[in-house]
A and B are shown apart, each in its own frame.
Chain A
Amino acid sequence: AQTVTQSQPEMSVQEAETVTLSCTYDTSESDYYLFWYKQPPSRQMILVIRQEAYKQQNATENRFSVNFQKAAKSFSLKISDSQLGDAAMYFCAYRRGGTASKLTFGTGTRLQVTL
């Protein structure tokens, strides 16, 4: 079974600084996708960034980027120039390739952004 591990229950970053959230996963599949979702206090799940396993290039979305290390099965999220609105729970998620296969989430990292 696939597992997703987020070893940091809580992280804190000062506004305008950079923070990295860790995620590791375990799979025997070669075709899969990785995601980071943000869950603000409203509890809606918002996609932050995604990565296809077959792509070597790390995904980037504005201030958000990932460090995808396929051999190490590591998928960390870097948030640059942190803003107060970045404060939320961040969930790493895995999905194997295929039709209806499900997302498997990690336990989440709560990010606090301080002034």
Chain B
Amino acid sequence: EPEVTQTPSHQVTQMGQEVILRCVPISNHLYFYWYRQILGQKVEFLVSFYNNEISEKSEIFDDQFSVERPDGSNFTLKIRSTKLEDSAMYFCASRDSHSGANVLTFGAGSRLTVL
């Protein structure tokens, strides 16, 4: 079954450093998402992306965050200057335009630890 692949699985970084989290969505999917889950809390929407532009973003997705689809396969989330509170699990998800119930398929997540 097709999968959404995320790398790295775990990254430890120092506060103030830039981090790039990578995602390879399912190949025929057109809609892409990033979500965040701080340990013990609910899954929060960050941003959605379609047709090479941001469709929607949450208030969490401030100027420190950016997304990019640099080629036909990768979808990246960049955090420019990490803060302690950015420590979380980051999930990428994708969806095609034809799935009957608009199901998002999630990757296994990238755990980010900011020290």
Chain B residues within CB distance 8 Å of chain A: 31, 33, 35, 37, 41-45, 48-50, 55-56, 89, 91, 93, 97, 100-109, 111
Chain A residues within CB distance 8 Å of chain B: 33, 35, 37, 42-47, 50-52, 91, 95, 97, 99-108
Task: Assess whether B45 is in contact with A104, with CB atoms less than 8 Å apart.
Answer: yes
Taken together as a complex, chains A and B put the C-alpha atoms of A46 and B105 apart, in Å, by 8
Task: Assess whether B50 is in contact with A100, with CB atoms less than 8 Å apart.
Answer: yes
Number of A-B contacts (CB under 8 A): 63
Task: Assess whether B56 is in contact with A50, with CB atoms less than 8 Å apart.
Answer: no
Taken together as a complex, chains A and B put the C-alpha atoms of A51 and B103 apart, in Å, by 10
Task: Assess whether B56 is in contact with A100, with CB atoms less than 8 Å apart.
Answer: yes
Taken together as a complex, chains A and B put the C-alpha atoms of A65 and B42 apart, in Å, by 23
Indicate which residue in B41, B48, B101 contacts A102 across the interface (CB closer than 8 Å).
Answer: B48
Given A44-B108, A44-B109, also A108-B42 (CB < 8 A): yes
